[in-house]
Structure 1
Amino acid sequence: MKKVLILAAFSAALLAGCSKSTDTTTTVTPTPVPVVKEAVSGDVSGTWAKGSTYKITGHLQVPTSQSLVIEEGVNIVFSDSTVKPEMIVRGNLYVMGTSANPVKFTVPDAWKTTANQWGNLWGGIIAAPTCAEMLIDNAILEYGGAVTTESSPSVKAGLYKAAAGNHVPAVNYSNVNGKLVIVNSRLNNQNEDGFYVEGGKVIIANNKIYTQGVSGGDAINIKSGVQADVAFNLVYSPNTNALKLSNSGDRSPQAYIVAYNNTIVNAGWRRPTIKGGSIWIEVGVRADLYNNLLANDRFGVKRDPKNAEDPRSKVSNNLYYGYTQDGVTGFQPSPAPIPPSTLLPEILAGTNDVISKTVGDNDPKFVNYPLATESKNAVFNTAWDFRLQSGSPAIGKGTTSFTRLYADGLSFANGTLYKSPAPSTTIGAFGTN
C-alpha cells in the first residue's frame, strides 16, 4: 500500500510538472527588423517596419484591395530628381508615426537647399477612388509638388487633374465614400497646393503648414463630395489661402466644412495677382467658421460674390489682427451692394468677431512671434511659438456652441479611432502658455 501511495504521489507530481510546463509555453512573434531598401519602385504593400529607410527611385503604387502600413520612424526618401516619383494609392494607406518618431516623406538632405525652397522634387500621394481609407498621423511631408507629364501615373490613370503640366499636391484624396484623416503632421516646402480633397469623410487637425506655394496654391483645398472637420491647424504664409472651400465638381454629398480654432498668419501676400488671403468660400459650399485667429492676412473671410456659398453657412467668433493699414483694410467687411446690384459683399461680416479698424489693435500676444515680420516672408522659424500670453483678446472670446461633424470619431480597419478635437473658447490653435 505504501508503494502504491508513493507511486501515486510521484505520478501526480510528474503530471503537475507537465501541466506547468504546458501553461507557460508562449508563441514568440518576431519583431520586424528595420531595413534599408535601395532603389524602391513599383507595387508596394504590407508593412514598412519601424525605423526603416526606403529610397524611392521610381513611381510607387499601393494596389487595389491591398494596404500599406508605414510604422513610426520610417524614412521614405524620394531620390530621383528626374523621375520625381508619385505615390498612387489604389488600396489603403496607414501612416502611423509618433511625435517622437514621425514618418518622413522627404528628399536627400543634400537637396534641401535655398534653390529648392519650393520643393518640386517628388510628386505627391495621390489616392484613386478605390482608396477606402487613408490615415496620416505624425508625418512630415516636404519638398514635393512636382509637375505632371504625359508619362506620370496620375495622368495615365486619370487621377487628380488628369493632365500634364500641373503641380501635384502633397495629398490628393477623391473617394466620396471613403475616409481621410491627416493629423499631428507637418507639410513644408511644397510647390503649390497642400491637401487637395475631392471626397470623403475627413478630419484635418493639429497640423503645421508653411513655405507652401510659389505663384499660387492653397494650403487646404476642399471640393464637393467632402464633409470635413478642419481644426487646430497652423498655416503660415500660404501663397493664396489657408483654406479654399468650394462645392465645385458636381459630386455628392454637398461640401460641408466645419473649420474652427485654426491660426492663419501672413496668408495671401505672396500671390502675384489679388484673389484670396485667408479663407475663401464659393460655389454653394456650406462652411461653418468659428474661433479662427487671422493675423496679418491679406484679407478676411472672402467669398466669390458671383458664385457664393450656401446661405446656411455661419461665420462667428473669429479674431482679426493687422500690423499694417493694408492688413486692417483687407479684413474690413465689404459694404452692402447698392441696388439694383444683388451681389453679396465680398468680405464677410461675422457675428461676435474680435475686429477693429485700428492698426495694431487686438494684438493676439503670441508667446514668440514678431508681428512686424515682413508680410511676404515664407521662411518659417521653428522657434516661433503661437501660443497666447495672458491678456490676449483671443482668450475666452471663442464659442463651443456648435456641432462638429466627427465628435464620435472615424474608425479605421486597423483598429484606430480618430475624433475631431473639442473646440476651445480660446480663439486660435494653441491656447495659452
Structure 2
Amino acid sequence: MKLKMKNINKIYWVCLCLITLSACHKAELAIISAPVRLVSNGITSDTLKGAVRGTMLAGKTYYFKTDITVNEGDTLQMQEGVKLIAIGDGKTYQTAPEIIMHGTFISLGTKEKPNYITVQNADTYHTEALAQNYTDVFKGWWGGIVCWPDPSSKNPAPGGDLIIKWTHLELAGGPASGNETGVYASGDPRYIIYFGNITKKFILEDSWVFGAKDDAIRVSGGKISIMRNTFELCGQLGGEFFNMKSGTVGDLAYNFFIGAATNALKASDAGSSGTQTNVAMYNNTMVNCGFRQTKSGRGGSINFEKAARGMVYNNLIANCRFGLRLTSDADLTNIKYNNQYFYGSTQKIVDLFQAADGVSTFQSADIHSTTPKENDPTFYGYDLTAFDYTANPGPMTVSVQTPAAVLVGTSNFRLKAGSKGVNAGNVNFSPIASVTATGDYGTTITLPGKDIGAYQSDGTGNQH
C-alpha cells in the first residue's frame, strides 16, 4: 500500500509539471517579438568604388567618385538616415559617376530619418532655386542609378529589384558613355533612375525626386508600385517625371508633381518587350507641368500612347499646359478613365484640358469648365493665379518660371473642406497590384480615395 501511494505521488508531480510546462509554453506562444532586421556585410569604409555589396549603416555618410557596380545576385542596402553622396561635376561621363545595378538595391529610409542619394552641397542648389537661379540644378552632377541585366548573364530572368522608401533622389543627368547598350546613346543626359528589369519589381514609396536634367525616372519593363512620392523641377528643356515604356505593369498613385518640363506621367508600349504596358494612374496631383517642352503639342499632365493601356481616375490637373492626352495609337479599348479634376487660370489652358492632338473626351464625373479660374480646387496654401500664364503661355525657359511654379517650398496642396474635389473620387476599381510583396521589402498600396488628388481629407494618401 505504501508503494502504491508513492507511485500516485509521482504521477501527481509529473502531471503538475506537465501542466505547468504547458502553461508556460502557451504563454511563450502569446509573446510575439518584432523581427530583427539583419545587417548583411556592414560597410565601414566611407568610400564606395568598384563592385560593391552589403549594408550602408544607419546614420552614416558614404561617398562615391567613380562608377560603382552591384553584380547580379548581390544586394546593396541603405539603412535609415544614410546619405550617399556622388562627387562629380557633370561635364563628362567620367566625372559624373553612376550606380550600375545588375543586382538588387534597397533604400529603407523612414519618415523620421529619411535617406539621401544626392551630391555635395545639395541644400545650396535648393536655395539657389528659391532665389530663381536654376543653373546648377540642371548640370547633371552625377549619372543616376541604372538598373538593367548584366549583358553577360546566363540567368533566364537576370537583374534585380529596386526598393526605395523615404529617400531623397536628386540632381542627376550627367552625359552617358554609351556603354549601356539600349539604355543611353553616347552623350545622352542620364536619368535619376533607369529601370529595365522586366521580371523584377520597382517600388518607390514616400520619396522625393528633384532636379533631373531630362526624364527623372524611366522604366523599360518591370512590375512597379509608385506610391505617395513628391516630384519637383525636373527636365531642363524636355523630359517627363515618370516615363514608362513596353513591359511596365503596375500602379502610380498619390504622387504630387510640380514643374515638369513635359508630362508628369507618360505611358507607351514602345520597345516590343512582349508584355504590354498596363498602368493605373489614380489620385495624383499635378501642377504647372509641361511649359518647358519646346516640341509642338507635347507637355502637360498624363499621356497614353503607342498601344499602352491602363486606368486614369481621380487625378487633379491644375495649370498644366495640356490636360489628358490619349493618342489614337494607344490601346483605347482598354483604357478606362473618369473623375479627373481640371483647373486652368487662362483661356489657353482651359481650351486644352483635352490635348488637341489626342482623342480623349470629358467623362461623366470629370470636373471642368470653359471659363478660366473657375472651379478652383482651393488648396490650403497655394495661389494658382500667382504665375502669369497669359503673358507666358509656353514654351518657356526655366529662368522665366518663379520658384512657386516649380517647387513645393512652404505651399500646402491639401484640399480645403469645401473643395469640389472632396468626395468626388471613384473608389469602385482596384489597383493592378503587380507587386504583391508586403513588409519591409514589399509595397504598401494605398487604395483609390474618395477625394480627388494625392491628399485625402482623412489624412491618408501623400504624407509629405
What aligned pairs does 1:61-210 form with structure 2 within 5 A after superposition? 61-81=69-89, 83-109=95-121, 112=125, 113=128, 114=133, 115-129=135-149, 130-149=158-177, 155-158=178-181, 160-161=183-184, 163-210=185-232
Is the deviation greater in 80-89 or in 179-188?
80-89
Runs of 4+ displaced beyond 3 Å: 28-39, 344-348, 375-379
1:358 counterpart letter in structure 2: T
**Aligned-partner Cα distance in 1 for 2:214–2:420:** 33
Q: In the TM superposition, what is the alpha-carbon distance from 1:351 to its structure 2 partner?
A: 3.4
**Aligned-partner Cα distance in 1 for 2:226–2:200:** 14
Greater RCO, CA 8 A, separation 6+: 2
* Paired-residue identity, %: 30
1:368 counterpart letter in structure 2: G
**Aligned-partner Cα distance in 2 for 1:190–1:351:** 37
Deviation string, structure 1 residues 116-161 (Cα, Å, up to 9, x no partner): 1224000111001332311011110111111113xxxxx3242523
Matched-pair contact (CA < 8 Å) for 2:73–2:160: no
The two structures have a TM-score, normalised by structure 1, of 0.84
Q: 1:333 to 1:278 in 2, by over 3 A?
A: closer
**Aligned-partner Cα distance in 1 for 2:452–2:436:** 25
Q: In the TM superposition, what is the alpha-carbon distance from 1:358 to its structure 2 partner?
A: 1.1
**Aligned-partner Cα distance in 1 for 2:239–2:375:** 29
Matching residue of 2:425: 398
Q: 1:30 to 1:171 in 2, by over 3 A?
A: closer
Matched-pair contact (CA < 8 Å) for 1:276–1:302: no
Matched-pair contact (CA < 8 Å) for 1:302–1:348: no
2:98 counterpart letter in structure 1: E
**Aligned-partner Cα distance in 2 for 1:333–1:180:** 30
Matched-pair contact (CA < 8 Å) for 2:43–2:54: no
Is the deviation greater in 204-213 or in 324-333?
324-333
Matched-pair contact (CA < 8 Å) for 2:72–2:159: yes
Matching residue of 1:349: 362
**Aligned-partner Cα distance in 1 for 2:43–2:106:** 19
Matched-pair contact (CA < 8 Å) for 1:118–1:211: no
What aligned pairs does 1:8-407 form with structure 2 within 5 A after superposition? 37-81=45-89, 83-109=95-121, 112=125, 113=128, 114=133, 115-129=135-149, 130-149=158-177, 155-158=178-181, 160-161=183-184, 163-274=185-296, 275-305=298-328, 307-332=329-354, 345-374=358-387, 376-377=401-402, 378-406=405-433
Structure 2 portions without partners, runs of 5+? 1-35, 150-157, 390-400, 460-464
Q: What is the SS of the residue equivalent to 2:138?
A: coil
1:40 counterpart letter in structure 2: L
Q: What is the SS of the residue equivalent to 2:49?
A: strand
Q: What is the SS of the residue equivalent to 1:410?
A: coil
Matching residue of 2:443: 418
Matched-pair contact (CA < 8 Å) for 1:171–1:195: yes
- Give the aligned length: 388
RMSD over aligned CA atoms reads: 2.4
The two structures have a TM-score, normalised by structure 2, of 0.79
Deviation string, structure 1 residues 171-213 (Cα, Å, up to 9, x no partner): 1111111111011000011111011011111101100001100
Matched-pair contact (CA < 8 Å) for 1:243–1:279: yes
Q: In the TM superposition, what is the alpha-carbon distance from 1:45 to its structure 2 partner?
A: 0.5
Q: 1:411 to 1:381 in 2, by over 3 A?
A: closer
Q: In the TM superposition, what is the alpha-carbon distance from 1:310 to its structure 2 partner?
A: 3.6
Deviation string, structure 1 residues 375-407 (Cα, Å, up to 9, x no partner): 544541421111000110001111011121119
Matched-pair contact (CA < 8 Å) for 1:240–1:270: yes
**Aligned-partner Cα distance in 1 for 2:105–2:358:** 42
Q: Which has the higher strand share?
A: 1
Q: 1:310 to 1:252 in 2, by over 3 A?
A: farther
Matched-pair contact (CA < 8 Å) for 2:260–2:406: no
Matching residue of 2:22: none
Q: In the TM superposition, what is the alpha-carbon distance from 1:237 to its structure 2 partner?
A: 1.3
Is the deviation greater in 271-280 or in 59-68?
271-280
Q: What is the SS of the residue equivalent to 1:328?
A: helix
